[in-house]
Amino acid sequence: MSAAAIVMLVVALVLVWGGLVAALLHLRKHPEEFDVVESGQQEYPPST
Protein backbone atom coordinates (compact mmCIF):
# COMPACT_ATOMS: atom_id res chain seq x y z
CA MET A 1 0.00 0.00 0.00
CA SER A 2 1.17 3.48 -0.75
CA ALA A 3 1.56 6.17 1.89
CA ALA A 4 -1.46 8.06 0.53
CA ALA A 5 -3.64 4.96 0.86
CA ILE A 6 -2.54 4.41 4.45
CA VAL A 7 -3.24 8.05 5.34
CA MET A 8 -6.71 7.82 3.78
CA LEU A 9 -7.35 4.58 5.68
CA VAL A 10 -6.36 6.16 8.99
CA VAL A 11 -8.50 9.25 8.32
CA ALA A 12 -11.51 7.08 7.44
CA LEU A 13 -11.08 4.94 10.56
CA VAL A 14 -10.79 8.00 12.79
CA LEU A 15 -13.92 9.53 11.26
CA VAL A 16 -16.02 6.38 11.65
CA TRP A 17 -14.86 5.35 15.13
CA GLY A 18 -14.68 8.95 16.33
CA GLY A 19 -18.28 9.48 15.25
CA LEU A 20 -19.34 6.34 17.08
CA VAL A 21 -17.58 7.42 20.27
CA ALA A 22 -19.05 10.93 20.01
CA ALA A 23 -22.56 9.50 19.54
CA LEU A 24 -22.18 7.19 22.54
CA LEU A 25 -20.92 10.03 24.74
CA HIS A 26 -23.81 12.23 23.62
CA LEU A 27 -26.35 9.49 24.42
CA ARG A 28 -24.81 9.05 27.86
CA LYS A 29 -25.28 12.74 28.65
CA HIS A 30 -28.70 13.01 26.96
CA PRO A 31 -30.55 9.67 27.20
CA GLU A 32 -33.76 9.16 25.27
CA GLU A 33 -36.93 9.96 27.18
CA PHE A 34 -39.90 7.63 26.94
CA ASP A 35 -43.24 8.96 25.77
CA VAL A 36 -46.04 8.96 28.34
CA VAL A 37 -49.54 8.18 27.08
CA GLU A 38 -52.73 9.72 28.52
CA SER A 39 -53.15 6.90 31.04
CA GLY A 40 -49.85 7.89 32.66
CA GLN A 41 -48.01 4.74 31.62
CA GLN A 42 -44.89 4.74 29.52
CA GLU A 43 -45.34 3.84 25.89
CA TYR A 44 -42.95 1.10 24.84
CA PRO A 45 -41.16 1.11 22.49
CA PRO A 46 -40.86 4.88 22.34
CA SER A 47 -42.44 6.41 19.27
CA THR A 48 -40.52 8.79 17.07
- pLDDT tens for each residue of the chain, 48 residues long: 999 999 999 999 999 999 999 999 999 998 877 666 666 666 666 666
Return left, alpha or beta for 40; rule: phi > 0 is left, psi -120 to 50 is alpha, else beta.
Answer: left
Position 35 scores a pLDDT of 64
| DSSP, residue by residue, 1-48 | --HHHHHHHHHHHHHHHHHHHHHHHHHHHSPPPPPB-TTSPBPSSPP-
- pTM value surpassing 0.85: no
Give the Cα separation of 48 and 30 in Å (integer).
16
pLDDT confidence of residue 16: 98
